[in-house]
Amino acid sequence: MIAALLLLGCDVGAPPNPGNTAEQVFEVPKGSSARGLGDELAAAGLVGSENDWSWFLRLGADGSCLKAGKHRVSPSMPAEELLRALCGAPIPDDVPFTVLEGWRARDIDAALAAAGLVPAGSYLTATSGADGYTTAFPLPSRDLEGYLFPETYQVSPGGFTARAFVQRQLDLFGERFGANASGRLGGRSLDEVVIVASMLEREEPALANRPLVAGVIWKRLDAKWNLGIDATSRYLLDDWTDERAFLKRLFDPKDPYNTRLRGGLPPGAIGNAGQGSLDAALAPAASEYWYYLHDATGQIHPSRTQKEHEMYKRKYL
């Protein structure tokens, strides 16, 4: 090919700008022919001219392999390399999907179903256990709640599967937190830290206050005090904001997530915490406080004693 071009006294297959390696996206419309793309390729600075591209094809380049869709190319590509790129697999038409901090697996499942990415319930099935997933950190024997890292993911609707998405979330959890936490657990298990982080995500709106709240939670756990975190009693509700159902659970001693009436941690995370809550659970702040509450504005009021706590309740609640 190159030899034939050089015989003409010019190299019509030469890159239009060898020094410009910046990647750009070029879209091949459905039904396009290679010859018909000459104008667009020249306008995009990917070939020297429409005429150069036409001669390149006339001299034997096979343009029948074009694949419709978006392709990553650059002006530094010779014509042969450009054609190979346009004949390769197109870039998937990815769309953003956001998992919010604090969301439960059921909330993620509902959002995926609403986006038309999976049938309702399939994500919950995929997160019901650790079998088949690969991680550099230990996964719990329960479901994967708490390890489904909240972030905005670029996903391809055409090739989306719930299990592949869960693996991506686990990979990101490991990259951002899990793989680096093992040497800093201080006698806690990773799962205990994850559970505490999930409570922090719901308990404390201000990121700066989460280490203090984490310190109170760990202190109460170590002292065998009930945690008294009302958010845990909402975890099993279909609708997190259902106050009537919440109050019923709040006074139910049989509810395993009732931390008012039952000691220790709940049996699992109550959602999927973000980076700030995970870091706070791993590095709690030491303090003299044993209690805290929030006023109507969300401002935290920590206290040292039951008496001081009751005073704040009368004042702020």
Instruction: Encode pLDDT of 41-50 as tens digits.
Output: 999 999 999 9
Domain locations in the chain as residue ranges: 2-87, 97-286
pLDDT for 225 equals 97
Q: What kind and span of H or E run contains 97? A: strand 95-98
pLDDT of res. 178: 83
Half-sphere exposure of 283 (CA within 13 A, CB side): 8
In this predicted structure, what is the pLDDT of residue 1? 47
Write down the pLDDT at residue 36. 93
* pLDDT tens digit sequence for 129-144: 999 999 999 999 999 9
pLDDT tens, residue by residue, 245-258: 999 999 999 999 99
What are the backbone angles phi and psi of residue 235, rounded to the nearest 5°? -55, -45
Do the bridges between strand 24-28 and strand 69-73 make them parallel or antiparallel, or are there none, so unpaired?
A: antiparallel
d(CA 57, CA 37): 11
Q: Which of 10-14, 19-23, 248-252 comes out lowest in average pLDDT?
A: 10-14
Both tokens of 152, joined, read: 């905005």
Beta carbons of 69 and 27 less than 8 angstroms apart: yes
| Residues contacting residue 58 through CB under 8 Å, at least 6 positions apart | none
Short-list 195, 233, 202, 203, CA closest to 302: 203
Condensed to tens digits (0 to 9), the pLDDT of residues 142-187 reads: 999 999 999 999 998 888 999 999 999 999 999 999 878 888 898 9
Cα(209)–Cα(206) distance, rounded to whole angstroms? 6
